[in-house]
Chain A
Amino acid sequence: MKAQSLEQQLRNAVPPAPDAEAQMRARRAALAESARVHDQQGAPPRKKESRWPLSWPLKSAWLGGMATACVVVVGVSVVYLMPPKDREIDLNLAMTPNEASRPEGPPAPLQATTQPAEAKADIPSSIAPANPANVVGPASSDVLTNARTQGEREASAQSARTPVAQGAATPTTTDMPAPARMPRSQPSPAFKGSEADLKDADVSEVTVQSSRPTPSPAHNSPSAIVTLESESLEEVRAPKARSKGGFFSRKASVPASPPPAAAPTAEEGRDKFRHFETNPVKRVADDPVSTFSVDVDTAAYSFVRRQLNQGVMPQPDSVRVEEMINYFDYAWPTSDSRDQPFKPTIAVSDSPWGEGKKLVHIGIKGYALPASQQPDVNLVLLLDVSGSMDSPDKLPLAKRSMALLLDSLRPTDTVAIVVYAGRAGRSAKRKRSCARWTRWRPVARPPALPASSSPTPSPKRASARTASIASCSQPMATSMWASRTTRS
């Protein structure tokens, strides 16, 4: 929106002609009001003093007396109604809920991992080109647009089409504790014994069986270092989650089970989000060039869902419309070979906003490497287990997420975990004393994958093999609306 066009825009917006009926209504109402006003004016003016025949000094004395009497009566009645004994009892009662609300034991976040993960929702493919004959090539000069508000539009369109997707979004919220605000008392088992705690985590995680080989487009980077820290965790996990069958493919399966007692509003408030303006609808004449991002994040969705599950209102800036939409799988066709890095899906429809105009919807999805060609994953998780991680949305969340990660691993993948907990004064020894490597593989080999069919190339070779396609092998789901004037 250009500043020069501000005046134009305000002038250009021509109001629709006033509705005659509305005008008549307003006129009737105004005339009635006018009649009322003039009736009142015609009537003899009221004598305001008539209600208080007393002269002012007398009156004020009388009022003052009344006020004093009221205060005395109220004071006496309060004292009378609250004998000292009762008051003590009251105090005791007031004390107990505090104690009662303290949790019995430390929360067990890892129990969450045993919950059945909900299957990912498959959105029916309904965005196929409605009328291919109408498809407007990307070359048309006045294709415009922006990814964000379209997002909004698409949201409404999508929600109409894909009840399944909505269903996938909601189940976790239904598990939400009914009262949004739970007692504030903090469970917080002190996290100083973090080593022991991590051992716990290891045990339970390793025994979880890897259920199936997940075709994982994210597998193509054979080794990755993932730093698991409080805030970054969601960001690390969620972008991958977008890809169907992706590395963390169980999208809807983040357990809804942080203990309900954990509603740390104050803690959540410290997360910082960059403010983004939602893109407006733009005029093609003013803004003919449109860009859109191929790299689609979905972290906002996970973040918002987690906050809602904890009974906390997410911050406005953490709710990013396009991520709410792109979280869901569009089920767009992918390209067949890696020679075609992505496949566009284009739909054209009449614009609801302009006569004789068209809306063009362009979605692209990147080539996804078949599961059989995916190299093994070698993950190194760097886990901060220091005391500052001791809140439900930090280390416990990281542990839950790692449990989810197990489901999508294949028997041939390897995971290493590095933990560190810095303490002041020991930074020199940190390397030796605080770093600990745990190397493990999922125990069970899933039956669906014959051992022979999954050759395990060495990480180095795999890296060479996939490097050329690494940049585009993750399915890209992004969308774009364009508006075009038909000049036929």
Chain B
Amino acid sequence: MDQQQISGLIRRAQGGDVASFSQLLDLHYGAIYRFAWKWCGHRANAEDIAQQSCIKLANSLAQFRFQSAFTSWLYQLVINCARDWQRSQQRHDHDELLDDMPLPAATSRTEDHIYLAQLLEQLNELGEGMKETALLVHAEGLSHAEAGEILGVSESTISWRIHTIRKHMNKREALISGGV
């Protein structure tokens, strides 16, 4: 499905066509879910965020003005939903990650998930916007300019953030290997 068709789909969905909206959802649910999963590293939470994003998409699709790429707009929307979700969770999120570890049936992916969880935790500590930046640039492969557009900051800010993250990781690496 090319860009043209997607635009048509969006326009029809904006007009209230249920079938088009449904098709649009099916097309993008996977991407929404995957991004949400990388955001939180947790399956059930990712499903929550994805569902909230879908509802928000229904709510605000009419506000999409075709001024930017639909995917960029969608990233923005999912990031907002994820932030809202995180805020609502902050009161009771202790060992969700640990609880979620599939202890009995480990898969070859489980270790990767542990590493991701560790990484996300560090990125969270770095401050607002760092995790989003790292995910958009490194995981989604967007350019600094695209990431800047999505996050509403300048391209140089994105570059600075990427640099800061790298510096922090290096420092932490040195700290850990030297500290034991």
Contact = CB atoms under 8 A, between A and B. Distances in A.
A344 to B, nearest CB: 19
B21 A34 contact: yes
Contacts of B114: 281, 353
Interface stretch (B1-9, B33-41, B86-94, B144-152): B33-41
A456 B173 CA distance: 52
Contacts of A352: 101, 103-104, 106, 110
A6 B165 contact: yes
Interface in A10-26: 10-16, 18-19, 22-23, 25-26
Contacts of A1: 115, 118-119, 122, 169, 172-173
B58 interface: yes
B112 interface: yes
A140 to B, nearest CB: 18
A199 to B, nearest CB: 45
A277 B176 contact: yes
Interface residues of A, number: 49
Interface string A271-300: 000001101110100010001110000000
A323 to B, nearest CB: 14
A74 interface: no
Contacts of A12: 112, 115
Give chain B's interface secondary structure class. Answer: helix
Contacts of B29: 18, 23, 26-27
Interface string B95-138: 00000010110111111111110110010000000000011001
A119 interface: no
Interface in A81-124: none
Contact of B110 (A30, A283, A291, A353): A353
Nearest to B109: A14
A3 B62 contact: no
A10 B58 CA distance: 29
Contact of B58 (A2, A6, A11, A34): A34
Contacts of B172: 1, 277
Interface stretch (A35-43, A334-342, A439-447): A35-43
Given A351-B106, A355-B108, A9 B55 contact: no
B155 interface: no
A221 to B, nearest CB: 26
B166 A354 contact: no
Contacts of B16: 38, 41-42
Given A33-B58, A33-B59, A353-B101, A2 B38 contact: no
A26 to B, nearest CB: 4
B170 interface: yes
B69 interface: no
Contacts of B170: 3
A279 B173 CA distance: 10
A54 interface: no
Contacts of B26: 23, 27
A9 B37 CA distance: 14
B112 A3 contact: no
B180 A291 contact: yes
Interface centre among B115, B169, B170 (most CB of A within 10 A): B115
Contact of A10 (B43, B111, B139, B175): B139
Contacts of A27: 22, 25-26, 29, 54
A276 B106 contact: no
Contacts of A10: 38, 116, 119, 134-135, 138-139
B103 to A, nearest CB: 5
B138 A16 contact: no
Top 9 A-B pairs ranked by shortest CB distance?
Answer: A30-B54, A15-B37, A34-B58, A13-B116, A26-B51, A33-B58, A10-B139, A22-B47, A38-B16
